[in-house]
Structure 1
């Protein structure tokens, strides 16, 4: 009798991501780094005119972005995401070069900063939904989770590098140097977009459909869909309870413990490293098969990390908590993105991305203000503990909701 073959089959390695996607990813992440540098430089320049002007500049970015997001998503679905991105990069290339020239000759007047901020916020309203839908247009659905995970890792790396690189440029050449650097990145991504063509045909929305009607139709589909609706609610919970921990509560906790800005920066860096590590693993191995459960599990994983940050009596424990919270946040982001992009009709890709950004922005505004008030009244530790409980509760609800729990990624 012939011996039985007991050798285990070697699992097939995941197919490499398309080169066209990798080229697009490198170009857009370079542009994202340039944006982070410019945002730091704008904030620094505005702070020289007082806190009120600094708040006005930030509001000038946020307000038009929020008001125009849904129409911006409808524009992307109507005319094509690539065209919208090319138009946005062209406008921003001209705006940053003009900022550098005017700033060099006339200085950084407060109203120049406000005008530039309005331009940034307006372009973002159209650009963010378009760029969020591009991975679906460049890779197949089976590779989408890995592609989005790599995009998430690149975004986090750009965010981590943005502030220190911006500080170096501002110290060396002021706002003009930061504007020129950002203009260079816009030129790079503009060349990339002109050369890159979407590999997958995606149906556009009807030309006869009005932009406001199209925006409302995107909201209608999201609210009525049994998967997209809880996905948006989980996204709101993550934005309102998870994001403020490092950006808002971490500095307050560091001040309460007398740790200083360095420790607060290490906690924020720990969160970024946790997110990058998980994103790189997912980009290599893919998401969990039950993709909805993976998103909910990410929120549950982040809860003990937030609790550690809240209860830490040493900076080292807070940094460890930040790493765990970042890992959970990365797990959530790497699963919620493909869950939404694969569950929405092709005609509504940009609109759904716009709705995702809008939900995150509104939840973050509410969360920051509510948690800030609670921290002032009862301390930052209690506010962070509330975040831990809330994030854990949201993740648990996601684990038991049947439409999310049973959703599979083929």
Structure 2
């Protein structure tokens, strides 16, 4: 596994040879990945079902239901990372999966017997978001313990591809479930997917890499001290202290493009609702295509160059979207945005995960998720307000400029280097 660069600023931007053993991922990882991606489809379907049920009580109720999931997830994420590092990612993942089974089955029972009032929906959404805060860092840390260093980039790329498929399938599956069996049926279906991933995770003990699995969760620090220690590790590590701010600014510049500004652009041009789907589908196609290619062929040997390339492609796609004269060109530009964001993630993700000490995997993953979520939360109202004040095109060009500026900053400062021990492969 990658040796942490904590407490050192050694320059390690060196080429590495392709490891021919990187082609085949361990069966333990593939089974775990399959289980978690099926569970992700169930989660997305349940989220769609909760949103639909909340919409029955009006727009404000629907918004509260969605916020009730994201708020506790965000607030408790760092605590979840500290718990993962103290007790181990596999153990926390098992407990979180089991807790989610209980929560969604309880939701099904309550909805079927007493009906799902707005406060009932909000209460269960709070529970789901709370469990997510512990489940996300645990799930994010496990790939490091299931694959070799040379396989990590491909393993995470395949995970990203599966996540994109889950997002694409989740909404229509949720709509079908709500229409056919109601919210209770969607909750039961989600519980079944969690039982599947629970069964797979129970078998992971043999698959965990023993030399690193033994190190996880051995810290004697309390949880509060552990939170501060996680921040210290990021601050001392040359790669991590640069990678996390880059991820945050990239999230602010790239993530709002299709989700927020795309629909505003369509409305401004009066292209019709179908153009929104075209842009969203184009972005998904770009993400999925690059992720599958990276999973099959590997990524650039120098991760910093891959980060810059991804940001550059995303910036180009965003500018093209701003200037698109018709829906077809907007869809093509969205493909570039998705492809660029995927290239970025396929290089930055392994860089961060390999740069984290095995004793701090959960906290580093929690910090990565937190800075991205916080940046997106702060950026959305800013870009939206700018679009209202000076136009959507100007707002999109602002996103392109911000994303391009991050790429230039990484190049000029030569800030992102490979941690020792990380083998980035390219075929």
Q: Identify the TM-score tier after normalising by the shorter chain.
A: over 0.9
Normalised TM-score (structure 1): 0.95
* RMSD between superposed Cα atoms in Å: 1.6
Separation in 2 of the partners of 1:407 and 1:401?
Answer: 17
Q: CA deviation at 1:189?
A: 0.5
Separation in 2 of the partners of 1:67 and 1:11?
Answer: 40
One of 63, 66, 70 as aligned partner of 2:74: 66
Is the contact between residue 161 and residue 288 of structure 2 (CA under 8 Å) also seen in structure 1?
yes
Is the contact between residue 92 and residue 183 of structure 1 (CA under 8 Å) also seen in structure 2?
yes
- What does the per-residue CA deviation read over 1:315-347, in whole Å, with 9 as the maximum and x for residues that have no partner? 000000000110000000101110001111110
Residue in 2 that maps onto 1:89: 97
Structure 2 residue 209 is the aligned partner of structure 1 residue 200? yes
Relative distance call for 1:11 and 1:139 in structure 2 (3 A) is: closer
Residues 43-192 of structure 1 aligned to structure 2 (within 5 Å): 43-192=51-200
Residues 2-13 of structure 1 aligned to structure 2 (within 5 Å): 12=20
Residue in 1 that maps onto 2:315: 303
Is the contact between residue 14 and residue 285 of structure 1 (CA under 8 Å) also seen in structure 2?
no
Q: CA deviation at 1:12?
A: 4.8
Q: 1 or 2 for the larger relative contact order (CA 8 Å, sep ≥6)?
A: 2
Relative distance call for 1:11 and 1:65 in structure 2 (3 A) is: closer
Is the contact between residue 297 and residue 399 of structure 1 (CA under 8 Å) also seen in structure 2?
no
Is the contact between residue 298 and residue 329 of structure 1 (CA under 8 Å) also seen in structure 2?
yes
Structure 2 residue 66 is the aligned partner of structure 1 residue 42? no
Separation in 1 of the partners of 2:229 and 2:359?
Answer: 11
Is the contact between residue 37 and residue 166 of structure 1 (CA under 8 Å) also seen in structure 2?
yes
Residue in 1 that maps onto 2:228: 216
Is the contact between residue 291 and residue 407 of structure 1 (CA under 8 Å) also seen in structure 2?
no
One of 248, 268, 271 as aligned partner of 1:236: 248
Is the contact between residue 310 and residue 381 of structure 1 (CA under 8 Å) also seen in structure 2?
yes
Normalised TM-score (structure 2): 0.91
Q: Please list every run of at least 4 consecutive aligned residues from structure 1 whose deviation after the TM superposition is greater than 3 angstroms.
A: 10-15, 405-409
Is the contact between residue 219 and residue 359 of structure 2 (CA under 8 Å) also seen in structure 1?
no
Residues 310-329 of structure 1 aligned to structure 2 (within 5 Å): 310-329=322-341
Q: CA deviation at 1:399?
A: 2.1
Structure 2's unaligned 5+ residue stretches are 1-17
Structure 2 residue 267 is the aligned partner of structure 1 residue 258? no
Separation in 1 of the partners of 2:21 and 2:241?
Answer: 34
Separation in 2 of the partners of 1:387 and 1:395?
Answer: 13
Structure 2 residue 374 is the aligned partner of structure 1 residue 362? yes
Structure 2 residue 350 is the aligned partner of structure 1 residue 342? no
Separation in 2 of the partners of 1:91 and 1:352?
Answer: 23
